[in-house]
Structure formats: structure tokens, C-alpha cells
Amino acid sequence: MSWLGVTTSATGRRWIGLDAEQDRLAEAIAQTGQPLPLARHMARRGVLPEDAAGFLDPKLRDLLPDPLTLRDMDKAATRLLAAVTGKQRIAVFADYDVDGGTSAALLIWWLRAQGRTATVYVPDRIDEGYGPNAPAIGALARDHDLIVCVDCGTLSHDALAAAQGLADVIVLDHHLGGDTLPPALAVVNPNRQDEDGTLAHLCAAAVVFLCLVEANRMVRAAGGKGPDLMAMLDLVGLATVADVAPLLGVNRALVQQGLRVLRDRHRPGLRALADVARMDGPPTAYHLGYLLGPRINAGGRIGAADLGARLLSTDDPAEAQALAERLDLLNTERRDIEARVTEIALETATARVEAGAALAWASGEGWHPGVVGIVASRLKDALNRPSVVIGIRPDGIGQGSARSIAGVDIGGAIQRLAAEGLLIKGGGHRMAAGLTVQPDKIDAAMERLSDLLARQGAATIGPRDLRIDATLMPRAATNDLVGQLERAGPFGQGASAPRFAFPDLRVAHARPVGEGHLKVTFTGGGPGRLDAIAFRATSSGIADAVTRAAGAPMHVAGRLELNRWQGRENVQLKLEDIALVSETDA
């Protein structure tokens, strides 16, 4: 049954609320003393009344898993500690994204606290591609006793073989594993084939953190004192959000605690980056995912691959400031490149989806490999389909990124394509993956991938229903309510923020801002007004609906947030959808 009679909104979606069972659960949660809007949101998340207090105040000590539940963890922590106590030469081979950079930084800070250093190696996205390669690993092995691969390495059999007889290798990763493991002393990965999947939602930085937890335990058992790991959770929280890991269970607790650490601004790199990003107010998951994360990623996408890891690991404020400013400039350049590629890719992918394809994909010569992942995310969001974007490099090889939607495993499907010989290589996890392909095989590979995803139901998925937690009047949208709702956060992948519908409002004022965005002030539904902002309002259809309304009543839906400006905090609706009352079934 549709909510407020909205079966087709301005963005083409049906609005739906809680089902009967969730309604009953919400009433029961409210009886424990929680505000009804918060209770309804918790009911949608499946929280039981007896678990409400623990849900609103998650304790990391209660949720953090025993590191030894992961295979090879004892060997990895033992070898890492042996390298420290034996004053051996250590190298860290990291992926070029946020998860890789934070993973490397965690190790660097932990080692530094014990008077040790390490060489950090981050491969160039264009020249070397993702993950370990034999020349780099061989060179590192000749000069080091231990190589730790973070956020990569699980499928790097040939590359890691280059270290045999020269140095030990530890892999701390989270990408999907294959049928066999690479030649390494330890492969710690919750997505190994022989793991039970209980911790499959962890990002690589969380896996590294667990390894350091176990190493610290060993230090204490020997009568020593390990570095303060709680002070490193800002890095783990950043990686968890930026790598789009689901904010459930221990991930939610890691991010929540990480945000508390980030407020202290003790890490020079993150402090400098927050300043250049003009981050105002207390840090939130939004800041991690949309302000800090993209800037750190910009180095690996279109600049020097190791800039992010260097920024996150430096203890020199002057160096941090210089690196942050450089990453900010690169991020601006990245946005310009991304916008050009998105415009072309979206047109091509839309035509394929409208023709019935299960996969939204596009390819183009000269598309920068550093933006194809972001563009794939844009296609996925716009079309609600698994998406692939491939840039054909000057050497003629296609390099692409894939993003998926809930319930569709794109990483496994791409690994299957690689096994079938349609790709040079490919892999990742359920929601994101990378691939390399010969240009003459792109069409066949994408047709095969579309077929595999169609078998998972991707072709039958239409526009997403817009899930509404509750109906509110403008006067109920207060700072106090936003504060109460934030107790259910942080919000992100797998844990969306509460969404509310406001019925029978009229536009008092509207003006375009930025590139295709819209600021609106609504009145109606009793006293008070509601300020809102709709991002990408022109492309989503919201701007057109506001124009067509011509003062007529409409239902609006979105998420409440605090807009901070010149020291003041005001409630603002992040407007996601509109439905003209005259066009509803009510």
C-alpha cells in the first residue's frame, strides 16, 4: 500500500511506509520511552524493544569480534610482532584508495609508537593497476624481511611468488578470495572461501585493526604495553564509510567511535584535510564519505598514488598541510573530469537499461581510469542497476570499475568472467569490483555479465520504492528531534537515515543554486515553515515538479539535517522526492 497515496512521484517512485508488523514493533519501542519518529525508524531497522537501549548506545567492547576467529590471524600477528622485536625491515604494499591508505597508516602509526618504521609502496593506478605486481614485490622482497599487503593480495598468486625465498608476506585483505590462496605466510581475509562469512562486511582497515588488537594482546601477554588502538579508530571509521561497508553491528560501533576520535583533531593529516574541505560542525559519516574520502581518493585517481597514505600517516603538520592542499586541488580536477564522463556514460547506459538490460554499462576511449568507479556509482544511483564503466587506455586495454545494488553480487560475477577468459583479470566484493579487458572482448564480456546478473534478478528491478519512516508536520522538525534521531546513527550503506513525509505543503520560495540544485521554503500543514535543499533537482525531476505545482499542494519527502551557517544551526530537509497532491491516489 502506498504512503499518502503516492504511487508515482516526481522521481518515478512509489512511497511506502512500515508494514503492520513494523507498526506494532514501533509502538512497543515507543513504550520504552523513545520518541515515536525514532521508534518507527528503529522498527524499520528491525530493532527489538529489549535491544533499543543497546542499539542507541553501541559499545565496541561488546561488538568487537575475537581477532582469532579469522583464519591465519595468529600467524599474521605473531610474524608482525616478531618483525618489530627483531628490528627487521618491513614494507607495506597498499591499495591506492581510502581503505588501502588508512590500512597502511594504521600500521605506520602502530609501528612508529614502538620506534619502528616501514616502507610504504602504493602502485600507480595506470602503470601498474590494482594490487601487487611481480616487479614491485620482487624489489621490495630484496630489501625487506617482511611485506604486509593491505586491501589487496588475495588473488595475487604470481606477484607474491616473486617474494618467495627473499621475504615473508602477510596479506590483510577483504576482497573475495578464489579457490586457492596465494603463496603467503598468512592470508587474513573474512572473504576467503573457507571463512563462514560472519565478518564479510569488514573493510580492510578493520581487518588490519583486528590484527593490531591481537598483536597488542601478545605484547601484553609478554608483560609489555602496546600502542593505544582506540586513538586509531578515526582511520578505521573513515575507511569503513569511504569503502561503503554496511554500517551494521561492529562497523557501526567502529564508525561511531571513530567520529569521536576525529573530533579531537589529533591526527595532522585529517585535521589539515578537514580544514581545506571547510568542514564545519562536528564530524559525521557524511563528512567522511563526501568531504574527506573523495579528497584522499583523488591522489590515487588522478595524482600520485601514495598521497593519501602519506597524508594519513604523517606526524608533521607542515607536510600535512601541503599534502591536504594538493589533494584538494586534485579533487577539483577529478570532479571536472567525472562530470564530462558521466554525461556521456549516462546517456549510453540509460538506452541499454530502457532496452531491458540487467546491466547499465558504458565504455569510452580516453576515459580516465581514476573516475570510472565514481561514474559507475552515478549510473547505479540513477538507474538502480548494477553498473560498469570502462575507460580504454592509450595502450588499448580497457580498465573498468563496477558497482552493484542490494541483493546482486557483482564481484562474484566478475570473477566468473575472469575465470571464463572474457577478462584479463577481475575481482572485488559483492558491491564493487574492478576489471581489465581487451577492447575486442568488451561487448561479449558485458553481455555475459548482464546475463549473469539477470539470473540474480537485476533485470526485473524497477525504480526503487521510497521508504518512509513517518509523517511529520513542519513544526515537528526541530533541532531536538534531529538530535534524537542522530542517536540511531551513523547513517550510510545498509543503515539509511530516517526519512519523513510532509503532507500538503506549498512552495513559498524556490531558487536554483549551484549546478542543477534547488533551495525551497515550504509552508502549510499548520504553523511554521520548512527549509529544504534538493541536490540534482534538475536531473531528478524535482525542479520540474516544483514548477508544475504553481502553488498547488504537494507532499514532500526527505531526511532532516542540521544546516550550520555562521555559527547558527537550523533544521533543513534534504529533499529527495515530491508528489503533487492532484497526482496521487489519495
User: For residue 389, which of 378, 397, 406 has the smallest C-alpha distance?
Assistant: 378
Return the SS3 of 21: helix
The string of DSSP codes covering 70-94 is STTHHHHHHHHHHHHHTT--EEEEE
Q: Is the pLDDT of residue 27 over 70?
A: yes
Distance CA 24, CA 30 (A): 10
Q: 3-17+468-583: which CATH architecture?
A: Beta Barrel (2.40)
* pLDDT one-digit tens code per residue, 128-146: 888 999 999 999 999 999 9
Q: Is the preceding peptide bond at 58 cis, omega within 30 degrees of 0?
A: no
Confidence of residue 462 (pLDDT cuts 50, 70, 90): low
3-state helix/strand/coil string of 245-277: CCCCHHHHHHHHHHHHHHHCCCCHHHHHHHHHC
Q: Please give the single-letter amino acid code of residue 469.
A: D
pLDDT at 586: 59
What is 63-328's CATH topology? inorganic pyrophosphatase (n-terminal core) (3.90.1640)
Cell digits for 411? 564481484
* pLDDT one-digit tens code per residue, 381-425: 889 899 999 999 888 899 999 999 988 999 999 999 999 999 999
Does residue 121 contact residue 136 with C-beta atoms inside 8 Å?
A: yes
Q: What percent of the chain has pLDDT over 90?
A: 84
User: For residue 357, which of 382, 387, 378 has the smallest C-alpha distance?
Assistant: 387
Confidence of residue 55 (pLDDT cuts 50, 70, 90): very high
* pLDDT one-digit tens code per residue, 296-332: 999 988 878 999 999 999 999 999 999 999 999 999 9
Question: Phi-psi category of 407—alpha, beta or left, where left has phi over 0 and alpha has psi -120 to 50?
Answer: left
Q: 356-460: which CATH architecture?
A: Roll (3.10)
3-state helix/strand/coil string of 319-340: HHHHHHHHHHHHHHHHHHHHHH
Cα distances (Å, whole numbers) of residue 290 to 246, 284, 460: 16, 10, 31
pLDDT at 186: 98
Cell digits for 181? 590462496
User: Which of 31-35, 512-516, 561-565 has maximum average pLDDT?
Assistant: 31-35
| Cβ contacts of 109 within 8 Å, gap of 6 or more | 227, 232, 235, 313
Confidence of residue 563 (pLDDT cuts 50, 70, 90): confident
* pLDDT one-digit tens code per residue, 231-262: 999 999 999 999 989 999 999 999 999 999 99
Q: What percent of the chain has pLDDT over 70?
A: 99
pLDDT at 118: 98
For the chain, what are the domain ranges? 3-17+468-583, 63-328, 356-460
Does residue 135 contact residue 93 with C-beta atoms inside 8 Å?
A: no
Q: What is the mean pLDDT of residues 477-487?
A: 95
pLDDT at 167: 98
Question: Phi-psi category of 57—alpha, beta or left, where left has phi over 0 and alpha has psi -120 to 50?
Answer: beta
Confidence of residue 463 (pLDDT cuts 50, 70, 90): low
Does residue 405 contact residue 384 with C-beta atoms inside 8 Å?
A: yes
pLDDT at 183: 97
Does residue 18 contact residue 499 with C-beta atoms inside 8 Å?
A: no
Same fold, 3-17+468-583 and 63-328: no
Does residue 235 contact residue 106 with C-beta atoms inside 8 Å?
A: yes
Distance CA 469, CA 467 (A): 7
